[in-house]
Structure 1
Amino acid sequence: MKLFKLLPLSLAVAGTLASAGAIADNHDIDAMEARLAELEARVGGEFNDTQQPAVLNAQSEVPLGIVFSGYARYGAGYQGSDSLYVGTHDSLNANATGRLGNEQNGGEIQFAKAFESDAGAIWDIVFMVDHWSDASWATNGGVQVKKLYAGASNVFESQPDLYIWAGRDFHQRPQTDLDDYFWMMHDGQGAGFYNMDFGGMKFDFSVVGQVDGEMVGDNGRYAATSKFHGFNTGDVDLAFYANYGFHSEKIDNDPTIDAADSAYQVAAEVKFSGQKFIVRYSDNAKDSVFDLAEDQEALLFSLGGGFGLTDNAGIQYQAAYQSLTGDAVEDRANYNVIVRPTYQWNDVHSTWLEGGYSVVDYDDIDATNQSWKVTLSQNIAIGPETWSRPMLRFYATVGNSDNEYTGGQSDDPSTWTTRDEDTLTVGAMFEAWW
């Protein structure tokens, strides 16, 4: 998980925003906005997407002592058929059949300390470890150092909200919710700034190096990332991204590494009335310009959000299309749709029903991979909103993955490997951000 302003509230608010499209009705939207206003009054500034760093500003209050925050989900699932989880081979859109009842365990634990100088500058030092067994998150299941950085705001009189940072951090992790997809990801070590003011608009810029596994140095791949945001026109909020990837001589001097000289991404994100639309184009890359993948292009369209049906019932959805083409990949497109009706019985208990369907269609192979799942979840939460956490979930999942091609010579069907797996899972877990 993916997604953070002053530290005690960062993950909680990020989760709120990541789930904003799930709000059941106008009353819930008003309640969420009131809650955000309360939090903003306590810490100042704007909140970023899931698992982004806390970005302090001149109005941030400095708490006493160490701030403890984090995100986690842990539980157990009983496998009653071929597979515990449902997934489409060669999927491009992360957990494309839906995340509810289809997630592995893990968590992120963060400690931070904030300071204020005599001149009024606001500083913080942040440390985080994570624990993920899912191969899409980490190379192993151990505890790893994911953040160790320092930052400061209110250091320039003309730019009091400019936040300057350096160190190791989660970096540029915008996310879609129901498929748990970080459609950009540039975690690394480097430096940069957030919230440079351009007459009401804000500009972020950083240069980061990709960490060499779990070592203390980088691997020679770098990303220059940027974001223009704060374009508000009535009920519409716009943000634009532009990233550039490059490498050092460290890559050139290693004959075992085949990397493109450069890569780039451009993207636009539009939020309106609880909905979010994303378009992203990547050249020599997909989710990250660290890829430096020669002759590769990716194009993503994604729409997600939610609608209220009654005072207690609502529906969330996520639909996406992504194509990937290139010399070193199987040219393909991934279509997926996820729908999650929700019903809130009272301030504590709710029921969710999530259905998802994902298709991977190859351009040059006469094969199609597809999967579907349905999950019923009975929830106990700390509050009545769909984004209220902590939450206990008791769920059951049924589904199927029918993968006609999982490997072999693409032009010789007799060499293809296939995988057709049914899923029947009963489980319980908790999820929390704090």
Structure 2
Amino acid sequence: MALASVSASAVDFHGYMRSGVGMSDNGGMQLLNKKVVGRLGNEDDTYGEIQLGQEVYNKAGKSFYVDSMVAMSSNQVRGWENTGGSTADFALAQFNVQGKGLFGGNETFWAGKRYYQRHDIHITDFYYWDVSGAGAGVENISAGPGQLSVAWLRNDPWMGQSDANTFDVRYAGIPLWEGAALELGYDFVKANPTDAQDTDAINDGHMITAELNASLMGGFNKTVVQYFIDGLAADAVGYGSGTGSDLQPSADKGDGLRLINWGVLPLGDKVELGHAIVYGTCSDCVSWGTQLDDSDTFSIVARPMYKWNDVMKTIFEGGYYKTNVTPAGGSETSTDGTKFTLAQAWSAGSGFWARPELRVFVSYLSQDGAFAADKSGTAQDDAWNFGVQAEAWW
């Protein structure tokens, strides 16, 4: 009742959406993993987030903020969700309270369910550092030249072998040179099995992250190094984020390394370029129940954009990936794939990040046997997608 009594104009309203329509020469939209070949012309869903927040108290340098978010993902089979073969997932993605200045500084003490300091590559929709979930913590504590954040979050493994708690420590904003800063982090995922569970098959995991964020040519470039141990080792090749959901059963050893370089750079007045390069490798790791002697993966995505005027642009996106896997006692197998997309777009501004955006696109995707079978039952090695998509954030 107290929240409802506050003027509606004071409520913070944010959100994200993407939706559209598409088809391919093989039937419905054909997709490859967008984390490895890019997302443009490679999405066939409706996804939305509605976020409402309200500062409910602010006095003497101390404030309280209530934040909430509802998210929905749909496969777009029918107009009404969860009927007639259509499926949709709904989530109360965020609901938390944030208290600022409670201890006399600029720190924030928070508790609840939250998207917590997520690090992602937008053109591939890849969250390489994301331990979001229900939790609590204190962030942005002034400590020397940077800010310290500590958090405890809960996000149990997908395979359900145990509960898991993630302990996250970050030190951000370390100045290096003009326009450049370093962030360091350590995540410890602690398995929390019951007395009845097999503790020998449940192991902890570790992730260490260093990220250099530097201004470059009027844009930015980020270089990331991540090291994974034991239950999280396979995250290095599985495009994981270090969350408790990624904890692997029977992973009592193993290590992984991941290198990332990504950013957005202006190339003159008319052209901007987004890029993402990812390399990962792990040894003696467990990936979703399979013991691997070693595995490595490489992907590269580039998205150049030409601006015709303040609202119209032409976008190209090309992506390639290759993965090598050697199971324990087995022989190495390799998989690779490519995607090329050409889109004509109209957006609320000419910049790379300008949204809302409307796009008309055509995509070519290629990977051995990856796409829906033809009338003879033969899986297709390539596919063409055509469609129109809208994307917005606010």
> Could you say which TM-score interval applies, normalised by the shorter chain?
0.7 to 0.9
Helix, strand or coil at the partner of 2:124 = coil
AA of the residue aligned to 1:432: A
Residue 106 of structure 1 corresponds to 47
Report if the CA contact (8 A) 2:32-2:365 is conserved. Answer: no
Helix, strand or coil at the partner of 2:281 = strand
- Deviation of the 1:176 alpha carbon: 1.7
Query: Does residue 292 of structure 1 match 2:253?
Result: no
* Superposed counterparts of 1:231-246, under 5 Å: 231-232=174-175, 233-246=177-190
- Deviation of the 1:63 alpha carbon: 9.0
TM-score (norm 2): 0.80
Report if the CA contact (8 A) 1:314-1:342 is conserved. Answer: yes
Query: Does residue 322 of structure 1 match 2:280?
Result: yes
* Superposed counterparts of 1:318-357, under 5 Å: 318-325=276-283, 326-327=285-286, 328-330=290-292, 331-357=294-320
Larger displacement relative to structure 2 (371-380 or 164-173): 164-173
Residue 120 of structure 1 corresponds to 61
Larger displacement relative to structure 2 (288-297 or 144-153): 288-297
Report if the CA contact (8 A) 1:86-1:401 is conserved. Answer: no
- Structure 2: how far apart are the matches of 1:202 and 1:82? 51
Which sections of structure 2, spanning at least 5 residues, go unmatched? 1-6, 76-86, 236-240, 371-377
* C-alpha spacing 1:212/1:281, structure 2 compared with 1 (3 Å): closer
Residue 73 of structure 1 corresponds to 18
* C-alpha spacing 1:255/1:249, structure 2 compared with 1 (3 Å): closer
- Structure 1: how far apart are the matches of 2:54 and 2:322? 46
Helix, strand or coil at the partner of 1:95 = helix
Residue 363 of structure 2 corresponds to 397
Query: Does residue 265 of structure 1 match 2:211?
Result: no
- Structure 2: how far apart are the matches of 1:249 and 1:369? 36
Residue 16 of structure 1 corresponds to none
Query: Does residue 359 of structure 1 match 2:313?
Result: no
AA of the residue aligned to 1:277: T
Residue 25 of structure 1 corresponds to none
Report if the CA contact (8 A) 2:193-2:199 is conserved. Answer: no
Aligned-residue sequence identity (percent) comes to 24
Helix, strand or coil at the partner of 1:401 = strand
* C-alpha spacing 1:257/1:101, structure 2 compared with 1 (3 Å): farther
- Structure 1: how far apart are the matches of 2:343 and 2:60? 52
- Structure 1: how far apart are the matches of 2:103 and 2:334? 56
AA of the residue aligned to 2:264: G
Report if the CA contact (8 A) 1:263-1:289 is conserved. Answer: no
Report if the CA contact (8 A) 1:188-1:208 is conserved. Answer: yes
Report if the CA contact (8 A) 1:82-1:421 is conserved. Answer: no
Q: Give 2:263's match in structure 1, choosing from 305, 313, 316.
A: 305
AA of the residue aligned to 1:376: L
AA of the residue aligned to 1:292: L
Q: Deviations over 1:296-317 (max 9, x none)?
A: 4331101112333331023222
Q: Deviations over 1:122-166 (max 9, x none)?
A: 2111111111247xxxxx722111111101101122x1x101100
Helix, strand or coil at the partner of 2:37 = coil
- Deviation of the 1:207 alpha carbon: 0.3
Query: Does residue 151 of structure 1 match 2:98?
Result: yes
- Deviation of the 1:76 alpha carbon: 1.2
AA of the residue aligned to 2:389: M
Query: Does residue 210 of structure 1 match 2:139?
Result: no
AA of the residue aligned to 2:64: W
- Structure 2: how far apart are the matches of 1:358 and 1:296? 24
- Structure 2: how far apart are the matches of 1:324 and 1:83? 35
Q: Give 1:182's match in structure 2, choosing from 117, 127, 133.
A: 127
- Structure 2: how far apart are the matches of 1:350 and 1:182? 27
Residue 192 of structure 2 corresponds to 248
- Structure 2: how far apart are the matches of 1:402 and 1:189? 40
- Structure 1: how far apart are the matches of 2:351 and 2:139? 30
- Structure 1: how far apart are the matches of 2:357 and 2:67? 26
- Structure 2: how far apart are the matches of 1:130 and 1:141? 10
- Structure 2: how far apart are the matches of 1:141 and 1:177? 23
Residue 383 of structure 1 corresponds to 349
- Deviation of the 1:239 alpha carbon: 0.6
- Structure 1: how far apart are the matches of 2:117 and 2:136? 13
Q: Deviations over 1:221-243 (max 9, x none)?
A: 10001111111221211111111
Residue 4 of structure 2 corresponds to none
Residue 225 of structure 2 corresponds to 279
Report if the CA contact (8 A) 1:83-1:422 is conserved. Answer: no
Helix, strand or coil at the partner of 1:96 = helix
TM-score (norm 1): 0.73
Helix, strand or coil at the partner of 2:59 = coil
Query: Does residue 192 of structure 1 match 2:134?
Result: no
* C-alpha spacing 1:309/1:65, structure 2 compared with 1 (3 Å): closer
Which sections of structure 1, spanning at least 5 residues, go unmatched? 1-61, 89-93, 135-139, 214-218, 405-417
- Deviation of the 1:271 alpha carbon: 1.3
Query: Does residue 165 of structure 1 match 2:110?
Result: yes
Q: Which has the higher strand share?
A: 2
- Which structure has more RCO (C-alpha within 8 Å, separation ≥ 6)? 1
- Structure 2: how far apart are the matches of 1:118 and 1:308? 43
AA of the residue aligned to 1:112: G
- Structure 1: how far apart are the matches of 2:157 and 2:339? 36
Report if the CA contact (8 A) 2:17-2:392 is conserved. Answer: yes
Helix, strand or coil at the partner of 1:178 = helix
Residue 166 of structure 2 corresponds to 223
- Structure 2: how far apart are the matches of 1:259 and 1:141? 32
Report if the CA contact (8 A) 2:257-2:281 is conserved. Answer: yes
